[in-house]
A and B are shown apart, each in its own frame.
Chain A
Amino acid sequence: MTKIKDIQNEIVDEFSMFDDWMQRYEYIIELGKNLPLIKEEFKTENNLIKGCQSKVWLQGEQNEDKIVFTADSDAILTKGIIAILIRAFSNQSATDIINADMDFIDEIGLKEHLSPTRANGLVSMIKNIKMYALAFNSKN
């Protein structure tokens, strides 16, 4: 099992403790508040993810053979969702990121956010994370 899968399972375990939506959202908000912020200089038009009701910036940087992601959003729930993605995919190898499945999103009850029309752009965020990984792999 890859490290990504381990982390995803951890996240699924944490979310399984919640009985209702409000608790789940409270936790996502907390994650959002604790998200390590992207450097101001990376909050560029280029790093802005399109297709969101809220603004989302995502930056990926190479650290030896790993990719480190930082991000920010002007909506706190969106920020919390990015925090979940960053926890699973940051500091991982490009190959593991490319091969990772996204089943855990469904398991933690965020499947509805995966719809392509959903305004927070979770699909676009995942796509951008994978694009970074593909780019790093083809570069090296």
Chain B
Amino acid sequence: MLDIQKIRADFPILSQKVNGKSLVYFDNGATSQKPQVVIDAISKYYQEINANIHRGVHTLSQLATDAYEESRVKMQNHINAKFSHEVLFTSGTTFGINLVANGFASILKAGDEVIVSALEHHSNIVPWQMLCEKTGATLKVIPMNDKGELIMAEYDQLLSDKTKIVTVNHISNALGTINPIKYMIDKAHEVGAAILIDGAQAVPHLKPDVQALDCDFYVFSGHKMCGPTGTGILYGKEAWLNKLPPYQGGGEMIKEVTFEKTTYAELPHKFEAGTPNIAGGIVLGTAIDYMNSIGFENIQKQELELLEYGTQRLLEIEGLKIIGTANEKTSVISFNIEGIHPYDIGTIIDKLGIAVRTGHHCTQPIMNFFCIPGTIRASFAFYNTKEEIDLMVEAVKRAKTMLS
């Protein structure tokens, strides 16, 4: 059993007042809050070892390089990648997806197919649309049912020898649906297609094992899992990363440069042009250590309790409808109240100290599917409490009375 009050004390922002009220932070799907160890690690880096990495012979540069590479190994162990050079530092999920989509431009040709799902965030749709425009490939979409679950029978039908890559999220940001990615990975491989998993919403809740999953790419952001903004990981199988061309040219990613020809550096540096977010990369390792010290089993247990309690309490409100009722879902509750615009509810409960997200959550196709302008999304983290859910429910009730 987690001592939530002790954990909450690790997060200075949680004791803050917002609009004169105690902050109830339920926008964890957008970004998580940061524990003191992470905040301290950022200043410690700048105070003690700030230097550019991978090139200086001086001591500080060596210390910074070691810390950066240690963090890479931590991330490798965390996701159980076979090699540390399969773990690339990025600025976040969006960058990772764009890197892969851009690389596939040299592989795809007209008539090939790319499969995405109806549950994707815009950042896992648009780069693939751009890829299809560039190459003449076709984008296919796996549909979902009314509960917000992808329809696997339809997925099976879409797969063919034309399919070159499938891209799907592990967990939906808008609805919280956990997708059957192991099944989807195996099926993609049966037709010889590669598969990318967008793990942005999964890594705050669970520990992916990329070797057991056997996915070709797994991308995620650091800032949703207690890490700094502007950090992320792209895992790619060695063979794929060797096959894809570099994404950006610059320093660090080269072996030799002459005006006639440049040869590229080995993995992972081939994809890490320029001075990276050194502090961010190092501190991402601190964040992972922190989350592992809490323990992902404990995190899941706490979040599941919050999901069940939150669902039950919210459904007490007359006219409230939960959007996304998948059998397998994480601690995200997207909802609407009949006859009231989600924006109105979100604006009013913000003044009562409740931070939720309203709108389309960068998933306009999902909103179109349900014929709604958007939802109110409460996304819980392990540091949230049932008392906070009570405060949200009271705030939503009050907003509803004002707006009815």
Q: Which residues of A contact B (CB under 8 A)?
A: 21-22, 25-26, 29, 53-55, 74-78, 119-120
Interface residues on B, range: 10 to 19
| A-contacting residues, B372-389, CB 8 Å | 373-374
Q: Is B403 an interface residue (CB 8 A)?
A: yes
Rounded to whole angstroms, the CA-CA distance of A22 and B348 in the bound complex is: 8
Q: Which residues on the A side are within 8 Å of B359 (C-beta)?
A: 53, 119
Q: Which residues on the B side are within 8 Å of A120 (C-beta)?
A: 343, 347
Q: Which residues on the B side are within 8 Å of A77 (C-beta)?
A: 343-344, 347-348
Q: Mark B330-347, 1 if CB is under 8 A from A, else 0.
A: 000000000011111001
* B348 lies within 8 A of A53 (CB): no
Q: Is B82 an interface residue (CB 8 A)?
A: no
* A53 lies within 8 A of B343 (CB): yes
Q: Which residues on the B side are within 8 Å of A21 (C-beta)?
A: 19, 351
Q: Is B1 an interface residue (CB 8 A)?
A: no
| A-contacting residues, B332-370, CB 8 Å | 340-344, 347-348, 351, 358-360
Rounded to whole angstroms, the CA-CA distance of A26 and B342 in the bound complex is: 17
Q: Is B57 an interface residue (CB 8 A)?
A: no
5 cross-chain CB contacts under 8 A: A53-B359, A53-B374, A54-B373, A75-B344, A76-B340
Task: Out of B340, B343, B351, B403, name the residue touching A119 (CB < 8 Å).
Answer: B343
Q: Which residues on the B side are within 8 Å of A119 (C-beta)?
A: 343, 358-359
Q: Which residues of B contact A (CB under 8 A)?
A: 19, 340-344, 347-348, 351, 358-360, 373-374, 402-403
Q: Which residues on the B side are within 8 Å of A78 (C-beta)?
A: 341, 343-344
* B373 lies within 8 A of A25 (CB): no
Task: Out of A53, A54, A55, A76, name the residue touching B403 (CB < 8 Å).
Answer: A76
Q: Which residues on the A side are within 8 Å of B344 (C-beta)?
A: 75-78
Q: Which of B344, B358, B360, B373 has the most CB of A within 10 A?
A: B344
Rounded to whole angstroms, the CA-CA distance of A74 and B360 in the bound complex is: 15
Task: Out of A22, A25, A54, name the residue touching B343 (CB < 8 Å).
Answer: A54
Rounded to whole angstroms, the CA-CA distance of A54 and B347 in the bound complex is: 12
* B373 lies within 8 A of A74 (CB): yes
Q: Which of A29, A75, A77 has the most CB of B within 10 A?
A: A75
Q: Which residues on the A side are within 8 Å of B19 (C-beta)?
A: 21
Q: Which residues on the A side are within 8 Å of B358 (C-beta)?
A: 53, 119
Task: Out of A26, A53, A54, name the residue touching B402 (CB < 8 Å).
Answer: A26
Residue on A nearest B374 in the bound complex, by CB = A53
Residue on B nearest A26 in the bound complex, by CB = B402
Q: Which residues on the B side are within 8 Å of A26 (C-beta)?
A: 402
Residue on A nearest B398 in the bound complex, by CB = A22
CB distance from A84 to the nearest CB of B (A): 15
Q: Which residues on the A side are within 8 Å of B342 (C-beta)?
A: 53
Rounded to whole angstroms, the CA-CA distance of A80 and B358 in the bound complex is: 19
* B402 lies within 8 A of A75 (CB): no
Residue on A nearest B351 in the bound complex, by CB = A21
CB distance from A112 to the nearest CB of B (A): 10
* A25 lies within 8 A of B351 (CB): yes
Rounded to whole angstroms, the CA-CA distance of A55 and B373 in the bound complex is: 9
Task: Out of B351, B360, B373, B403, name the residue touching A29 (CB < 8 Å).
Answer: B403
* B374 lies within 8 A of A25 (CB): no
* B348 lies within 8 A of A54 (CB): no
- Assuming A25-B351, A55-B373, is B341 touching A74 (CB within 8 A)? yes
* B402 lies within 8 A of A29 (CB): yes
CB distance from B161 to the nearest CB of A (A): 42
Rounded to whole angstroms, the CA-CA distance of A69 and B351 in the bound complex is: 30
Q: Which residues on the A side are within 8 Å of B402 (C-beta)?
A: 22, 25-26, 29
Rounded to whole angstroms, the CA-CA distance of A75 and B360 in the bound complex is: 15
Q: Which residues on the B side are within 8 Å of A25 (C-beta)?
A: 347-348, 351, 402
* A75 lies within 8 A of B351 (CB): no
CB distance from A116 to the nearest CB of B (A): 16
Q: Nearest 7 CB-CB pairs, A to B?
A: A75-B341, A21-B351, A53-B343, A75-B343, A53-B359, A54-B343, A77-B344
